[in-house]
A = this chain, B = another copy of it.
Amino acid sequence: MKQSKVFIPTMKEVPASAEALSHRLLLKAGLIKQSTSGIYSYLPLATRVLNNIEAIIREEMERVDAVEILMPALQQSELWEESGRWSAYGPELMRLKDRNGREFALGPTHEEVVTSLVRDELKSYKQLPLTLFQIQSKFRDEKRPRFGLLRGREFIMKDAYSFHIDEASLDETYQQMYDAYDRIFKRVGLNARPVLADSGAIGGNHTHEFMALSEIGEDTIVYSKESDYAANIEKAEVVYTPNKKDEAPLELEKVETPDVQTAQELADFLNKPLDEITKSMVFNVDGEFILLLVRGHHEVNDVKLKAYFETDNIELASQDDIFNLLGAHPGSLGPITDKDIKVYADQSIQDLTNIVVGANEDGYHYLNANIDRDFKVEAFDDFRFILEGEPLADGSGEAHFAEGIEVGQVFKLGRKYSEAMNATVLNDQGKAQSLLMGCYGIGVSRTLSAIIEHHNDEQGIIWPKSVTPYDLHLIAINPKKEDQRELSEQLYEQLQQTYDVLYDDRKERAGVKFNDADLIGLPIRIVVGKRASESIVEVKRRDNGESEEVHSDDLLQYINDLYEQLN
């Protein structure tokens, strides 16, 4: 395609509000344009990359027998009422009324629609397993849209849904999808690690997120440099190896700790290391209060707490509730009390002797508290976030942290939707049985961003050839000169037979053209300049900048060889 016909509004300066590298490059290289907060137009280069990503997704979905469909964005509220999500979903769900006053959601996801789609048509276990997928714009009214395409309000997703008669079949499809995702992200040039993720109160290892590492991420990934281990930090297990110091219990002592609020302030005040003191927090678990004890340098992990208590209904108790219960405020709380409250503790608390705890009296702490002697602990468990450098659960070495972008997720839904929406088939005993379901998402527009986060340098984007908008960038330095124009057009004709060529035929200065070419980042650049009269052109790789002069007669062979080598 002639560049004069393509709409590529490159920019010199991008708004300071574009924090993420990919956001800045998407704007600078003229790939997207914001319409309004969190809503973008994809310009020609981005659209070509999206089409390439989607083609790879389609191939890999077909390989695992997933079949493409297209469901509507407009979803009548009745379906969402069946699943219970009409009231549960909150303000992220965009809602509207039609001319007759009927309510609709703009699909943020399609569990309800797909369940209603199959429930009338699937009659027997013989029709299973079935996996349906679609690629489509989704809508979520994010409270704070940001990072360009990473957290937008209208975005492109591939979502797939599978239906099964039993766990074994669901497990099989889940694994096939997991493997397909692995192939998809590799093919598009992403180092996306599958990480264990939290699946809410359901528990179990029922979901993996595929995380692409990036400068700005919305999630922290804990990973191993020695193995494949990777987990969302919410999920990463702490390995507890008892390490109790040989120390004699001292007598319990109450000390005044005026104006001390935080653990750090307490440590400083008592002149002790942060990890030798403790923090006590009160949670409301399904209506019952508990006190949780962790060490000063540890942070409580809600997700683990929810998994432990098998409920989503856990929150920090209010200051009033705490004062009514223990007679003190946060900052002076502790496990030594005659009140009816169960004490739980992170497992690492077991290593401590002569512990510092709050005295349940504002401005006072105890020194030398000892477990069992001064207070009882209901249970020790892993209630906290792992720290960088701690040993990993797979024994492969120490925890490293990275920021990541979630580009995909595979999830076992179980019977949540099929039971709520009465989607059953007859099993081999002739009995109605509700379907088991899995769901599998890929953020297509996020993937575009993540690829850019991985593939760039100071000058701009460096496209992997699997998704590049065009293969070759043919640049006529001065198309007004006849020899340059003629050679360029001859090469354009020739190369187009084998490659997608972007031909810069614009009447712009060479500097502008080179600058744009670097920003746009096609894998190979062919420059037709001064030596056109000798039929010599310059061929330059975008990735390492290496260039060579090549005679036009040898060009096609040269490009074929070079292209083969590229990633």
Task: Please report A residues at the B interface, Cβ cutoff 8 Å.
Answer: 1-2, 4-7, 9, 33, 35-36, 39-44, 46-48, 50-51, 62, 65, 67-76, 91-92, 94-96, 98-99, 102, 106, 113, 116-118, 120-121, 126-127, 130-132, 134, 136-137, 139, 141, 143, 153-154, 507
Contact = CB atoms under 8 A, between A and B. Distances in A.
A91 B95 contact: no
Given A7-B118, A41-B113, A106 B96 contact: yes
Given A41-B70, A44-B132, 7 more contacts: A7-B121, A9-B121, A41-B71, A41-B72, A43-B69, A48-B68, A94-B98
A81 to B, nearest CB: 13
A72 B35 contact: yes
Contact of A72 (B39, B43, B507): B39
Contacts of A43: 69
Tell which of A40, A42, A62, A70 has the most Cβ of chain B within 10 Å. Answer: A70
Contact of A113 (B2, B6, B35): B35
A91 B91 CA distance: 25
A69 to B, nearest CB: 5
21 contacts: A5-B65, A5-B131, A7-B118, A7-B132, A9-B121, A35-B71, A35-B72, A35-B113, A35-B117, A36-B102, A39-B76, A41-B71, A42-B71, A43-B69, A44-B67, A46-B70, A47-B68, A47-B70, A73-B139, A99-B141, A137-B137
Tell which of A72, A95, A130, A131 has the most Cβ of chain B within 10 Å. Answer: A72
Given A1-B62, A75-B35, A7 B42 contact: no
B95 A69 contact: no
A449 to B, nearest CB: 15
Nearest to A508: B126
Contacts of A113: 35, 41
Contacts of A71: 35, 41-42
A539 to B, nearest CB: 25
Nearest to A43: B69
B39 A7 contact: no
Contacts of A42: 69-71
A277 to B, nearest CB: 42
Contacts of A99: 91-92, 141, 143
A177 to B, nearest CB: 14
A41 B67 contact: no
Contacts of A75: 35
A139 B98 CA distance: 11
A50 B69 CA distance: 10
Contacts of A127: 4
A540 to B, nearest CB: 25
A73 B143 contact: no
Given A7-B67, A94-B98, A76 B35 contact: yes
B39 A74 contact: yes
A104 to B, nearest CB: 8
Contacts of A92: 99
B72 A40 contact: yes
A36 B117 contact: no
Contacts of A136: 137
A153 B74 contact: yes
Contact of A98 (B4, B120, B141): B141
A154 B35 contact: no
A116 B65 CA distance: 42
A154 B75 CA distance: 11
Contacts of A72: 35, 39-41, 137, 154
Nearest to A134: B47
